[in-house]
Every structure is written in C-alpha cells, then in structure tokens.
Amino acid sequence: MTDNPIYDNIDQLGQQTALPHSPEEAVLERVPNPHPDTDYLARFTAPEFTSLCPVTGQPDFAHLVIDYAPGDWLVESKSLKLYLSAFRNHGAFHEDCTIAIAKRLEDLLAPKWLRMAGYWYPRGGIPIDVFWQTGEPLKGLWVPETGVAPYRGRG
C-alpha cells in the first residue's frame, strides 16, 4: 500500500477485507497520531449499530458516538467499522456492548480521554442509553454535545 514503515502493521486498509464473525475475532488497528502534542477531539458516529439480544436473538439497534482525545495513537477507521459490524451476530445486552467497545478502544489507544455514548432504540417499550468516560475531559478540550436527541417516542 505505501512505502512508509509506520503503516507496516495496517493489514485491512486498502484491500478487500472479510467481515469478522465476532467482536473477539475482529482486529482493531491503530496508526501513529501525527499531533500527539496537541489536545483535540476525534469523533466516530455509528448511527446504525446492530447487535442481538442474548436471550431472544432479536436484533437491537443503537446510535453510537465515540469521542476521544488521542495520545500517541489513532484508531484506523476501517478496522473500527469492521469491528463494530462484527456485533451484528453477537448476542449481548446493551450495556455490555457499549462498555466492551469503549474498553477495547481504551486498551488499544491509551487515549488522553475517551467518552462512549450508546443510544439504544426501544425494545419492549423501553429505550436504554448507556454512557461511559475515562474521567474528566481535558481542560480546554472542546467536547460538543453528541448530537443525539433523547428518545421521545411520539410525544
């Protein structure tokens, strides 16, 4: 793909890659942050995230928002897309999916700060929203609202 050795460990970008069968099988990749000395926010939004209810096998849908202040590493976006897609056939509760994604990113990237928001669509009449962050946002870091309205039904 490139002659730059810093990208030698990137195996999925620039080529056809099969969808992983499970989140555990999915390979998340990282690339060096070209601005590790600058505090900034990177946001990934997955408005059509899907997983399965571990009890009924019915599909669950969420709008995920991942915010992080990178340290030395950035998540490679294609690998993140494949990882999130691997949840399509994965059975887990809303809370487990949301927190597992956040913790895997935290382990991979060691960001200065990370926030995960999972806005789950209702099943059984109850929406479940799950939020987690690694601590207080960095001083002076611009952290916009997630842009996802709370669920209101038809009200």
Please give the positions annotated as active site. 53, 60
Task: Say how many C-beta atoms besides its own lie within 10 A of residue 93's C-beta.
Answer: 16
Residue whose token pair is 């099943």: 123
* Helix/strand number for the chain, H first, E second: 2, 6
Task: Please state the separation of Cα 121 from the chain's center in Å.
Answer: 17
Task: Check if the beta carbon of residue 131 is closer than 8 Å to that of residue 117.
Answer: yes
Alpha helices in the chain, H assignment, sequence order: 77-85, 94-109
Nearest alpha-carbon partner for 102 in 115, 112, 83, 111: 115
Instruction: Reduce the DSSP state of residue 106 to 3 states and report it.
Output: helix
A 10 A CB-CB count for 143 gives: 14
